[in-house]
Structure 1
């Protein structure tokens, strides 16, 4: 973890870049939890559930109980995945996206790097069944590859965030290819599936990045619209509101980076922002790909 933090500090990249300080303006605090690859999508995802009569009521009650254990209210149920993904791949240059073009009132959660490996986060996500995508850096995860296996087994995507977390714009074409292709091989060998998605560290990329990503089998380069800090969210738009299809950036970070706040507390604060604005959370990989 120290190597990744040192990279961020050396480059002096602001928080909105996806790898920077965690200072933020004052805002509402979050409650504490009750206790201190792209696998196939899970059929049981966050929200109130669907069905009729007693079945639907029972599913809503079960969801409310799960979320209440983390001092949260349930999220709306996500719609069924689109039959034709709105972001098409395989048609030339690798697409670079910050949001998904959709009218569905959904957002997409992404967690970067992998330095923090909090067991409570695994329990939280197992209970809440909220989908997300992990953009993993080998330098951050190599101390414990196994931590991410149960998260992937829940149906959460494993995606590429390079081998060593460099600013790719400072590297030549071949060096970029080594960073991206090397991590593709690492993640495929460790988690059993070649990643479809890639995120450049700090959000910095150029046309060499797109070419390297394509040569390594990456289908899309994924940026973001919002960045979660500790209690507050940073917005790129002036209205400071979520919009349908927004991709939200968070990090595997712990108390040393979050001023004493745990990763589960930070994630609970993130989910409160989503719930309060009436959004569901959908699986990013279901909205990106070739038409079915």
Structure 2
């Protein structure tokens, strides 16, 4: 399924003119929903083998979205302070190649209540690898996460959102239960949607990256301010993904 790019110059002015106070999410549901694979995102034998589902939205009637951040390349202390001060929940999917220069940054993130998850050891294109190679990438990162952060994640995101049957088989063998990808991707100056109507939906998973001025025309804090302005203007709160799954 393609994506629709929405450039900053096309964003309604109400998203950009001032910093809005983020909305507070509702109380988490008492009963969590079991995620199921999004239609068209299944692989062969998905249900028969009980493979981790790939999904882009969490079923909920709450007007919330879920912020997820990938890889770990940028380690911006201002971003940590901002998210702590605003009490914005998010979920990180980490790649060892990109975090190993400063595991302590992600220790601090975890200490703020952020769940750290698996995004492989080296960020390869997984469908181009054999089953054993994919298993090494995923299980190897599980080992690193346990060694460095004390816990083996239950969620995994394949690099680039690309996967095949072997990816999900390998992920399951490594203890992965869910494979969330995303329904919208945002960065400092544009957003990309899977749907042509270019709007958020209840329970959407939103992707951004650990990036800074070397890759973007702005900082991670700039990216977050823009994202928070927009979702707040649309009446959405940012909720914690793990509270709903």
Q: Mark yes or no: TM-score above 0.5.
A: yes
- After the TM superposition, list the runs of 4 or more consecutive aligned residues in structure 1 that deviate by more than 6 angstroms: none
Q: CA 1:234–1:126 in structure 2 vs 1: closer, same or farther (change >3 Å)? A: same
Partner of 1:190: 148
Q: Out of 200, 205, 226, which is 1:247 matched to? A: 205
* Equivalent pairs, count: 229
Shift in Å, 1:253 = 0.1
Shift in Å, 1:181 = 0.3
- Rounded Cα–Cα distance in structure 2 between residues aligned with 1:24 and 1:187: 36
Partner of 2:221: 264
- Rounded Cα–Cα distance in structure 1 between residues aligned with 2:32 and 2:208: 24
Shift in Å, 1:232 = 2.7
8 Å contact from structure 1 (residues 78, 106) kept in 2: yes
Partner of 2:87: 129
- Rounded Cα–Cα distance in structure 2 between residues aligned with 1:177 and 1:76: 40
Deviations 1:7-42 (A, max 9, x none): xxxxxxxx96xxxxx9956345987xxxxxxxxxxx
Shift in Å, 1:237 = 0.7
8 Å contact from structure 1 (residues 75, 278) kept in 2: no
8 Å contact from structure 2 (residues 35, 58) kept in 1: no
The two structures have a TM-score, normalised by structure 2, of 0.87
Runs of 5+ in structure 2 lacking a partner?
Answer: 37-48
Pairs within 5 Å for 1:104-183: 104-183=62-141
Shift in Å, 1:82 = 1.4
Deviations 1:137-172 (A, max 9, x none): 001101101111121111111010000000100011
Deviations 1:116-151 (A, max 9, x none): 011101111110110000000001101101111121
8 Å contact from structure 1 (residues 114, 136) kept in 2: yes
- Rounded Cα–Cα distance in structure 1 between residues aligned with 2:229 and 2:115: 22
Deviations 1:169-212 (A, max 9, x none): 00110000000000011011111111111000000001111111
The two structures have a TM-score, normalised by structure 1, of 0.74
> Which of the two has higher C-alpha Rg?
1
Q: Out of 262, 273, 284, which is 2:230 matched to? A: 273
Q: Out of 210, 213, 234, which is 2:171 matched to? A: 213
Partner of 2:20: 73
Partner of 2:54: 96
- Rounded Cα–Cα distance in structure 1 between residues aligned with 2:20 and 2:8: 24
8 Å contact from structure 1 (residues 231, 270) kept in 2: no
8 Å contact from structure 2 (residues 6, 192) kept in 1: no
